[in-house]
Amino acid sequence: MINTLQHPYLLFLLLPLLLLFFAAWKRRGGAVQVSSVRPFREAEGGKEKFNVRKFLPLFFYTLCGAFLIFGMTQPREGLEEIRRRTEGIDIIIAIDLSGSMAVYDAPSGTSESAVASSISSGRLKNRLETAKEEIRSFIEARPNDRIGLIAFAPQPYAVCPPTLDHAFLLTHLDELKVGMIGDRTGLAGPVASAAQRLKDSDSKRRIVVLFTDGVNNVQAKVTPLQAAKLADSVGVTVYTVGIGGDNSYAVQQDLFGTRLARVQQPFDEDLLKEMADSAGGKYYHAADAKGMKNAMKEIDKLEKTSVEQTVIVNWKEFYPVITLLAVVFLLAGFFLEHTFCLRLP
Protein backbone atom coordinates (compact mmCIF):
# COMPACT_ATOMS: atom_id res chain seq x y z
CA MET A 1 0.00 0.00 0.00
CA ILE A 2 0.94 3.65 -0.12
CA ASN A 3 3.92 4.28 2.07
CA THR A 4 5.49 7.43 0.68
CA LEU A 5 4.29 10.90 -0.22
CA GLN A 6 6.70 12.49 -2.59
CA HIS A 7 5.49 16.03 -1.85
CA PRO A 8 3.90 15.88 1.59
CA TYR A 9 3.99 19.66 2.01
CA LEU A 10 1.21 19.90 -0.57
CA LEU A 11 -1.08 18.47 2.09
CA PHE A 12 -1.20 21.98 3.49
CA LEU A 13 -3.50 22.75 0.59
CA LEU A 14 -6.12 20.81 2.52
CA LEU A 15 -6.36 23.75 4.88
CA PRO A 16 -7.56 26.25 2.27
CA LEU A 17 -9.80 23.52 0.94
CA LEU A 18 -11.36 23.17 4.35
CA LEU A 19 -11.82 26.92 4.55
CA LEU A 20 -13.37 26.84 1.11
CA PHE A 21 -15.75 24.17 2.26
CA PHE A 22 -16.86 26.19 5.24
CA ALA A 23 -17.17 29.33 3.16
CA ALA A 24 -19.37 27.49 0.70
CA TRP A 25 -21.34 25.95 3.54
CA LYS A 26 -21.94 29.30 5.16
CA ARG A 27 -22.52 31.09 1.91
CA ARG A 28 -26.08 31.96 1.25
CA GLY A 29 -27.00 31.11 -2.28
CA GLY A 30 -30.08 32.21 -4.07
CA ALA A 31 -33.25 31.89 -2.12
CA VAL A 32 -36.90 32.46 -2.66
CA GLN A 33 -37.99 35.36 -0.58
CA VAL A 34 -41.18 34.48 1.17
CA SER A 35 -43.33 36.51 3.48
CA SER A 36 -42.65 34.21 6.35
CA VAL A 37 -40.83 30.96 6.82
CA ARG A 38 -43.00 30.12 9.79
CA PRO A 39 -45.39 27.77 8.00
CA PHE A 40 -42.47 26.06 6.29
CA ARG A 41 -40.74 25.62 9.56
CA GLU A 42 -43.88 24.25 11.07
CA ALA A 43 -44.27 21.82 8.20
CA GLU A 44 -40.81 20.47 8.87
CA GLY A 45 -41.53 19.99 12.50
CA GLY A 46 -40.67 23.38 13.85
CA LYS A 47 -36.93 23.15 13.99
CA GLU A 48 -34.07 23.83 11.69
CA LYS A 49 -32.84 20.60 10.22
CA PHE A 50 -29.44 19.76 8.90
CA ASN A 51 -29.45 20.72 5.27
CA VAL A 52 -28.52 17.42 3.67
CA ARG A 53 -29.32 18.65 0.20
CA LYS A 54 -26.78 21.37 0.53
CA PHE A 55 -24.25 19.30 2.39
CA LEU A 56 -24.06 16.20 0.26
CA PRO A 57 -22.94 17.66 -3.07
CA LEU A 58 -20.66 20.04 -1.25
CA PHE A 59 -19.17 17.15 0.64
CA PHE A 60 -18.49 15.25 -2.54
CA TYR A 61 -16.92 18.27 -4.18
CA THR A 62 -14.68 18.75 -1.17
CA LEU A 63 -13.80 15.08 -1.23
CA CYS A 64 -12.90 15.48 -4.89
CA GLY A 65 -10.66 18.40 -4.01
CA ALA A 66 -9.07 16.51 -1.16
CA PHE A 67 -8.32 13.56 -3.41
CA LEU A 68 -6.86 15.83 -6.05
CA ILE A 69 -4.57 17.37 -3.47
CA PHE A 70 -3.72 13.94 -2.17
CA GLY A 71 -2.95 12.86 -5.71
CA MET A 72 -0.73 15.89 -6.14
CA THR A 73 1.42 14.80 -3.25
CA GLN A 74 2.33 11.80 -5.38
CA PRO A 75 1.58 8.94 -3.05
CA ARG A 76 3.40 5.80 -4.01
CA GLU A 77 4.72 2.53 -2.88
CA GLY A 78 8.32 1.46 -3.16
CA LEU A 79 8.27 -2.01 -4.58
CA GLU A 80 11.96 -2.81 -4.40
CA GLU A 81 14.22 -1.70 -1.68
CA ILE A 82 17.96 -1.67 -1.98
CA ARG A 83 19.85 -1.10 1.16
CA ARG A 84 23.09 0.49 0.19
CA ARG A 85 26.01 1.33 2.32
CA THR A 86 27.54 4.68 1.93
CA GLU A 87 30.76 2.86 1.12
CA GLY A 88 30.23 -0.62 -0.21
CA ILE A 89 33.00 -3.10 -0.66
CA ASP A 90 33.81 -4.90 -3.86
CA ILE A 91 34.06 -8.63 -3.84
CA ILE A 92 35.04 -10.94 -6.64
CA ILE A 93 34.37 -14.58 -6.16
CA ALA A 94 36.58 -16.80 -8.22
CA ILE A 95 35.36 -20.35 -8.51
CA ASP A 96 37.17 -23.34 -9.85
CA LEU A 97 35.33 -25.28 -12.56
CA SER A 98 37.96 -27.94 -13.15
CA GLY A 99 36.90 -31.57 -13.39
CA SER A 100 37.81 -32.36 -9.84
CA MET A 101 35.05 -30.08 -8.56
CA ALA A 102 32.63 -32.92 -9.36
CA VAL A 103 34.05 -34.93 -6.52
CA TYR A 104 31.95 -35.61 -3.43
CA ASP A 105 33.48 -34.80 -0.08
CA ALA A 106 32.15 -36.86 2.74
CA PRO A 107 32.94 -36.21 6.35
CA SER A 108 35.94 -38.30 7.32
CA GLY A 109 35.13 -41.73 8.66
CA THR A 110 32.02 -42.23 6.56
CA SER A 111 31.87 -45.62 4.91
CA GLU A 112 31.71 -45.98 1.17
CA SER A 113 28.24 -47.45 1.12
CA ALA A 114 26.90 -44.64 3.28
CA VAL A 115 28.43 -42.16 0.89
CA ALA A 116 26.83 -43.90 -2.06
CA SER A 117 23.41 -43.78 -0.51
CA SER A 118 23.73 -40.14 0.44
CA ILE A 119 24.74 -39.28 -3.09
CA SER A 120 21.83 -41.09 -4.64
CA SER A 121 19.40 -39.56 -2.20
CA GLY A 122 20.87 -36.13 -2.92
CA ARG A 123 21.95 -35.44 0.62
CA LEU A 124 25.56 -35.23 -0.34
CA LYS A 125 26.50 -32.77 -3.01
CA ASN A 126 29.63 -32.42 -5.01
CA ARG A 127 32.15 -29.72 -4.37
CA LEU A 128 30.85 -27.27 -6.92
CA GLU A 129 27.27 -27.52 -5.71
CA THR A 130 28.35 -27.13 -2.11
CA ALA A 131 30.44 -24.12 -3.01
CA LYS A 132 27.57 -22.64 -5.01
CA GLU A 133 25.22 -23.05 -2.10
CA GLU A 134 27.55 -21.33 0.28
CA ILE A 135 28.34 -18.58 -2.19
CA ARG A 136 24.66 -18.05 -2.68
CA SER A 137 23.99 -17.51 1.00
CA PHE A 138 27.11 -15.36 1.19
CA ILE A 139 25.81 -13.15 -1.61
CA GLU A 140 22.38 -12.97 -0.09
CA ALA A 141 23.84 -11.93 3.23
CA ARG A 142 25.68 -9.03 1.65
CA PRO A 143 23.16 -7.10 -0.37
CA ASN A 144 25.09 -3.88 -0.27
CA ASP A 145 28.32 -5.05 -1.76
CA ARG A 146 29.17 -5.14 -5.35
CA ILE A 147 29.97 -8.73 -6.07
CA GLY A 148 31.52 -10.13 -9.22
CA LEU A 149 32.06 -13.68 -10.37
CA ILE A 150 34.95 -15.28 -12.18
CA ALA A 151 34.96 -18.89 -13.22
CA PHE A 152 38.22 -20.50 -14.01
CA ALA A 153 39.79 -23.72 -15.10
CA PRO A 154 42.91 -23.33 -17.18
CA GLN A 155 41.78 -19.84 -18.06
CA PRO A 156 39.70 -17.35 -16.11
CA TYR A 157 36.36 -16.24 -17.45
CA ALA A 158 34.64 -13.21 -16.07
CA VAL A 159 31.06 -14.34 -15.56
CA CYS A 160 29.92 -11.10 -14.08
CA PRO A 161 31.72 -7.90 -13.15
CA PRO A 162 31.15 -6.51 -9.63
CA THR A 163 27.49 -5.53 -9.47
CA LEU A 164 24.71 -4.77 -7.07
CA ASP A 165 22.31 -6.71 -9.19
CA HIS A 166 22.60 -9.84 -7.15
CA ALA A 167 19.67 -11.51 -8.79
CA PHE A 168 21.54 -11.43 -12.05
CA LEU A 169 24.59 -12.71 -10.29
CA LEU A 170 22.78 -15.63 -8.75
CA THR A 171 21.27 -16.80 -12.02
CA HIS A 172 24.70 -16.85 -13.52
CA LEU A 173 26.06 -18.68 -10.55
CA ASP A 174 23.49 -21.40 -11.13
CA GLU A 175 24.54 -21.86 -14.69
CA LEU A 176 28.08 -22.82 -13.82
CA LYS A 177 28.92 -26.44 -14.50
CA VAL A 178 31.96 -28.57 -13.98
CA GLY A 179 34.19 -28.91 -17.00
CA MET A 180 32.62 -26.09 -18.89
CA ILE A 181 35.88 -24.44 -19.68
CA GLY A 182 38.43 -27.19 -19.28
CA ASP A 183 39.71 -29.68 -16.74
CA ARG A 184 42.94 -28.27 -15.42
CA THR A 185 43.40 -25.59 -12.85
CA GLY A 186 45.28 -22.29 -13.27
CA LEU A 187 45.33 -20.31 -10.04
CA ALA A 188 47.25 -17.27 -11.29
CA GLY A 189 44.73 -16.27 -13.94
CA PRO A 190 41.67 -15.59 -11.77
CA VAL A 191 43.64 -13.72 -9.14
CA ALA A 192 45.37 -11.51 -11.69
CA SER A 193 42.15 -10.93 -13.58
CA ALA A 194 40.26 -10.03 -10.42
CA ALA A 195 43.03 -7.69 -9.36
CA GLN A 196 42.85 -6.08 -12.75
CA ARG A 197 39.15 -5.59 -12.43
CA LEU A 198 39.26 -4.20 -8.94
CA LYS A 199 42.23 -1.98 -9.58
CA ASP A 200 40.21 1.03 -10.64
CA SER A 201 37.33 0.55 -8.28
CA ASP A 202 36.64 3.45 -5.96
CA SER A 203 35.64 1.19 -3.08
CA LYS A 204 37.66 1.34 0.04
CA ARG A 205 37.87 -2.38 0.39
CA ARG A 206 38.40 -4.80 -2.44
CA ILE A 207 38.60 -8.52 -1.93
CA VAL A 208 38.89 -11.69 -3.93
CA VAL A 209 37.67 -15.02 -2.65
CA LEU A 210 39.24 -17.89 -4.49
CA PHE A 211 37.64 -21.32 -4.32
CA THR A 212 39.73 -24.16 -5.58
CA ASP A 213 40.31 -27.85 -5.01
CA GLY A 214 43.31 -28.46 -7.17
CA VAL A 215 46.94 -27.96 -7.61
CA ASN A 216 48.06 -25.27 -9.94
CA ASN A 217 48.83 -27.31 -13.02
CA VAL A 218 48.81 -24.66 -15.70
CA GLN A 219 52.12 -22.98 -16.29
CA ALA A 220 51.17 -19.41 -17.10
CA LYS A 221 53.55 -16.50 -17.51
CA VAL A 222 52.60 -15.38 -14.05
CA THR A 223 52.87 -17.69 -11.07
CA PRO A 224 50.01 -17.73 -8.58
CA LEU A 225 52.23 -16.12 -6.00
CA GLN A 226 53.11 -13.31 -8.35
CA ALA A 227 49.45 -12.80 -9.09
CA ALA A 228 48.73 -12.58 -5.38
CA LYS A 229 51.46 -10.02 -4.94
CA LEU A 230 50.12 -8.07 -7.86
CA ALA A 231 46.73 -8.04 -6.18
CA ASP A 232 48.28 -6.85 -2.97
CA SER A 233 50.08 -4.05 -4.77
CA VAL A 234 46.79 -2.64 -6.05
CA GLY A 235 45.15 -2.96 -2.64
CA VAL A 236 43.17 -6.12 -3.23
CA THR A 237 42.91 -8.66 -0.45
CA VAL A 238 42.82 -12.29 -1.45
CA TYR A 239 41.11 -15.01 0.55
CA THR A 240 41.67 -18.56 -0.53
CA VAL A 241 39.45 -21.50 0.20
CA GLY A 242 40.79 -24.95 -0.38
CA ILE A 243 38.11 -27.55 -0.93
CA GLY A 244 38.58 -31.23 -0.39
CA GLY A 245 39.12 -33.64 2.45
CA ASP A 246 40.55 -37.08 3.02
CA ASN A 247 37.33 -38.92 2.31
CA SER A 248 36.47 -37.95 -1.24
CA TYR A 249 34.78 -39.96 -3.94
CA ALA A 250 34.30 -39.46 -7.63
CA VAL A 251 31.37 -40.95 -9.51
CA GLN A 252 32.56 -42.96 -12.46
CA GLN A 253 30.49 -44.33 -15.27
CA ASP A 254 31.69 -47.40 -17.18
CA LEU A 255 30.32 -50.54 -18.79
CA PHE A 256 29.21 -51.97 -15.49
CA GLY A 257 27.29 -48.89 -14.42
CA THR A 258 27.94 -46.25 -11.88
CA ARG A 259 30.46 -46.73 -9.18
CA LEU A 260 32.35 -44.72 -6.68
CA ALA A 261 36.09 -44.32 -6.78
CA ARG A 262 38.11 -42.98 -3.96
CA VAL A 263 40.02 -39.89 -4.89
CA GLN A 264 43.34 -39.11 -3.38
CA GLN A 265 44.14 -35.77 -4.77
CA PRO A 266 45.70 -33.36 -2.37
CA PHE A 267 45.67 -29.69 -3.16
CA ASP A 268 48.59 -27.39 -2.72
CA GLU A 269 47.73 -26.09 0.68
CA ASP A 270 51.03 -24.29 1.07
CA LEU A 271 50.58 -22.36 -2.11
CA LEU A 272 47.10 -21.27 -1.15
CA LYS A 273 48.29 -20.23 2.26
CA GLU A 274 51.15 -18.28 0.79
CA MET A 275 48.93 -16.57 -1.70
CA ALA A 276 46.55 -15.47 1.02
CA ASP A 277 49.34 -14.29 3.22
CA SER A 278 51.04 -12.26 0.54
CA ALA A 279 47.76 -10.51 -0.34
CA GLY A 280 46.70 -9.68 3.18
CA GLY A 281 44.00 -12.34 3.31
CA LYS A 282 43.56 -15.70 4.93
CA TYR A 283 43.43 -19.30 3.87
CA TYR A 284 40.60 -21.59 4.85
CA HIS A 285 40.34 -25.27 4.44
CA ALA A 286 36.91 -26.65 3.69
CA ALA A 287 37.07 -30.38 4.00
CA ASP A 288 33.34 -30.82 3.50
CA ALA A 289 30.11 -28.82 3.42
CA LYS A 290 30.43 -27.91 7.06
CA GLY A 291 33.96 -26.67 6.65
CA MET A 292 32.85 -24.64 3.67
CA LYS A 293 30.17 -23.00 5.69
CA ASN A 294 32.57 -22.07 8.41
CA ALA A 295 35.00 -20.60 5.92
CA MET A 296 32.34 -18.39 4.38
CA LYS A 297 31.15 -17.30 7.79
CA GLU A 298 34.63 -16.28 8.72
CA ILE A 299 35.09 -14.21 5.62
CA ASP A 300 31.73 -12.63 6.12
CA LYS A 301 32.68 -11.73 9.65
CA LEU A 302 35.98 -10.25 8.64
CA GLU A 303 34.45 -8.11 5.96
CA LYS A 304 31.72 -6.49 7.97
CA THR A 305 29.78 -3.87 6.08
CA SER A 306 29.18 -0.43 7.51
CA VAL A 307 26.09 1.81 7.84
CA GLU A 308 23.22 0.96 5.59
CA GLN A 309 21.02 3.25 3.60
CA THR A 310 17.70 2.40 2.12
CA VAL A 311 17.11 3.47 -1.41
CA ILE A 312 13.87 2.60 -3.07
CA VAL A 313 14.22 2.28 -6.75
CA ASN A 314 11.01 0.93 -8.14
CA TRP A 315 7.80 2.83 -7.47
CA LYS A 316 4.16 2.05 -7.82
CA GLU A 317 2.34 5.33 -8.37
CA PHE A 318 -1.16 5.76 -6.95
CA TYR A 319 -2.15 9.09 -8.40
CA PRO A 320 -4.09 7.65 -11.36
CA VAL A 321 -6.39 5.74 -9.03
CA ILE A 322 -6.73 8.70 -6.73
CA THR A 323 -7.44 11.10 -9.55
CA LEU A 324 -10.02 8.69 -10.89
CA LEU A 325 -11.66 8.61 -7.47
CA ALA A 326 -11.64 12.40 -7.40
CA VAL A 327 -13.38 12.47 -10.75
CA VAL A 328 -15.89 9.93 -9.50
CA PHE A 329 -16.60 12.11 -6.48
CA LEU A 330 -16.94 15.14 -8.69
CA LEU A 331 -19.44 13.36 -10.88
CA ALA A 332 -21.27 11.99 -7.88
CA GLY A 333 -21.54 15.46 -6.39
CA PHE A 334 -22.73 16.88 -9.66
CA PHE A 335 -25.23 14.12 -10.12
CA LEU A 336 -26.61 14.51 -6.61
CA GLU A 337 -26.79 18.26 -6.90
CA HIS A 338 -28.91 17.99 -9.99
CA THR A 339 -31.11 15.09 -9.01
CA PHE A 340 -31.72 13.95 -5.47
CA CYS A 341 -30.32 17.02 -3.84
CA LEU A 342 -31.79 19.48 -6.28
CA ARG A 343 -32.40 22.79 -4.63
CA LEU A 344 -34.28 25.73 -5.97
CA PRO A 345 -33.68 28.40 -6.93
Partner 1 sequence: MKDTGELLAKVRKIEIKTKRMVDELTGGAYHSVFKGRGIEFSEVREYTFDDDVRDIDWNVTARTNVPHIKKYSEERELTVILAVDISASGLFGSAELSKREKMTEGAALLALSAIRNNDKVGLLLFTEETELYLPPRSGRTHGLRLIRELLGAEGRKKGTNIASALETLAKVLKKRAVIFLISDFIDGNDYEKTLKIVARKHDLVAMRVLDEKELSLPVLPGLELLDAESGKSFSFSATGKNPEKFRIAAEKEEREVSELCRRSKVDLIDVRCGEDLVRPLMSFFRSRKKLAR
Q: Residue 16 or 39: which CB sits closer to partner 1? A: 39
Distance in Å, CB of 14 to partner 1, minimum = 27
Q: Which stretch binds partner 1 (CB under 8 A): 59-67, 110-118, 131-139, 335-343?
A: 335-343
Nearest approach in angstroms of CB 55 to partner 1 is 10
Which positions from 53 through 92 interact with partner 1, judged by CB under 8 A?
Answer: 53-54
The mark string for 285-324 relative to partner 1 (x by CB under 8 A, - otherwise) is ----------------------------------------
Taking the complex as a whole, the smallest distance from the CB of residue 35 to partner 1 amounts, in Å, to 4
Tell which positions 15-54 bind partner 1, by CB under 8 A: 28-44, 48-49, 51-54
In angstroms, give the least distance from the CB of 331 to partner 1. Answer: 20
From residue 175, give the alpha-carbon distance in Å to each of 128, 165, 210, 251, 303: 11, 16, 18, 21, 27
* DSSP-based three-state secondary structure for 283: strand
Using the rule CB under 8 A, which residue among 109, 122, 257, 345 binds partner 1?
Answer: 345
Residues 124-183 touching partner 1, rule: CB under 8 A, are: none
Distant-in-sequence, close-in-space partners of 253: CB < 8 Å, separation ≥ 6: none
Is the CB of 32 or the CB of 255 nearer to partner 1?
A: 32
331, containing H or E segment: helix 319-338
Query: Does residue number 343 form part of the binding site for partner 1 (CB under 8 A)?
Result: yes
Q: In angstroms, what is the minimal distance from the CB of 31 to partner 1?
A: 4
Q: Least CB distance from residue 46 to partner 1, whole Å?
A: 10
For residue 340, give every residue at least 6 positions away whose Cβ sits within 8 Å of its Cβ, in sequence order, or none: 56
Residues facing residue 5 across a β-bridge: 75
Residue 224: C-alpha distances to residues 149, 184, 231 (Å): 18, 14, 11
* Spatial CA neighbour of 156 closest among 94, 218, 226, 220: 94
> What is the rounded distance in angstroms from the CA atom of residue 83 to the CA atom of residue 332?
44
Shortest distance in whole angstroms from residue 30 CB to partner 1? 7
CA distance 186 to 276: 16
In the bound state with partner 1, the residue whose beta carbon lies nearer, of 51 and 108, is: 51
Q: Is 188 exposed, middle or buried (0-12, 13-18, 19+ CB in 10 A)?
A: buried
The residue among 48 and 80 lying less far from partner 1, judged by its C-beta, is 48
Q: How far is the CB of 57 from partner 1 (least distance, A)?
A: 11
Identify which of residues 54 and 293 has a Cβ nearer to partner 1 in the complex: 54
Spatial strand order of the sheet with 146-152 comes to: 156-163, 146-152, 90-96, 206-212, 236-243, 283-286
Pick 327 or 342: Cβ nearer partner 1 = 342
Measured between alpha carbons, how far is 268 from 266 in angstroms, rounded to an integer? 7
Q: Which is nearer to partner 1, 48 or 254 (CB)?
A: 48
Q: Which residues bind partner 1 (CB under 8 A)?
A: 28-44, 48-49, 51-54, 340-345
